Structure 1
């Protein structure tokens, strides 16, 4: 399964108001509180940080926020996102294999990956949950095909 297939399956995610191609972005100058509101409202685990809404400059996850809340307290909510975001954002393309990106996310211990085109413009975001769900669907289809072959269907 390829990343483009994962993105197309996201429209069935069941998250209210969140289409498969929705890219939740915040500006580096927005406050952490702004990002937390968006994470809560959309029921997602990370937002892409982008000044223009097209190219990723960073990513901010709920883990990043919780880690800083634990270290600095509630005052961190007034900080600009640029102080907390992960600046070295890993990305993937539509043609990459879902198993490969699943392995990258697992080894890198991150759960969200912006999908970009050849010019670096964002097309979507896939999560580790999207990759796992895609793999499970793939395995179920393989099982069904093998069962059909064995049963002579």
Structure 2
């Protein structure tokens, strides 16, 4: 399954992150407190950090916020996201294989990945859950095809 197919599966789900105008982003000057509110309101685990809302500059996850709280206490909620976000954002394109993306996420120990076009503009965001769901659908289809072959259908 391709990343393009993962995005199309999400488009009917009502989840944010499908079209460029619905990708949840936040600016690097916003605070961790503001990011926490946004994550809670949108019911998402990470937010893409972007000044223009089109190109990813970083990514901030719930884990990032919790780690900062654990290290430095509640005062970090007024800290700018730009000081905490992951700057080396892993991205993918629509033509990449979902299994490869799943392996990259697992090896890198991250759960969210912006999907970009050839110019680096965001097309959507996929999560490790999206990749797992896509893989399970593939496996179910393979099982059905093999069962049909064995049964002579």
> TM tier, shorter chain?
over 0.9
Q: CA deviation at 1:14?
A: 5.6
Answer yes or no: is 1:130 the counterpart of 2:137.
no
**Alignment match, 2:117:** 117
Paired with 2:87 and 2:18, the residues of 1 have a C-alpha distance of 24
Q: CA deviation at 1:99?
A: 0.6
Paired with 1:39 and 1:133, the residues of 2 have a C-alpha distance of 22
Count of residue pairs brought into register by the alignment: 151
Asked whether the 8 Å contact 2:17–2:24 carries over to 1, the reply is no
Q: CA deviation at 1:13?
A: 3.6
- The 5 A counterparts of 1:1-150 are 1-13=1-13, 15=15, 18=16, 20-21=18-19, 22-150=22-150
SS of the residue 2:113 aligns to: strand
Asked whether the 8 Å contact 2:58–2:88 carries over to 1, the reply is yes
Paired with 2:141 and 2:80, the residues of 1 have a C-alpha distance of 46
Q: Which runs of 4+ in 1 moved over 4 A?
A: none
Deviations 1:62-121 (CA, angstroms, capped at 9, x unpaired): 010000000011111111110110011110000000011111110011111100000000
Q: CA deviation at 1:152?
A: 1.8
Asked whether the 8 Å contact 1:23–1:125 carries over to 2, the reply is yes
Asked whether the 8 Å contact 2:91–2:113 carries over to 1, the reply is yes
SS of the residue 1:93 aligns to: coil
Q: CA deviation at 1:19?
A: 6.0
Asked whether the 8 Å contact 1:55–1:122 carries over to 2, the reply is yes
Asked whether the 8 Å contact 2:115–2:126 carries over to 1, the reply is yes
Q: What TM-score does the superposition give when structure 2 sets the normalisation length?
A: 0.94
Can you give the 5+ residue segments of structure 1 that lack an aligned partner in the other structure?
A: none
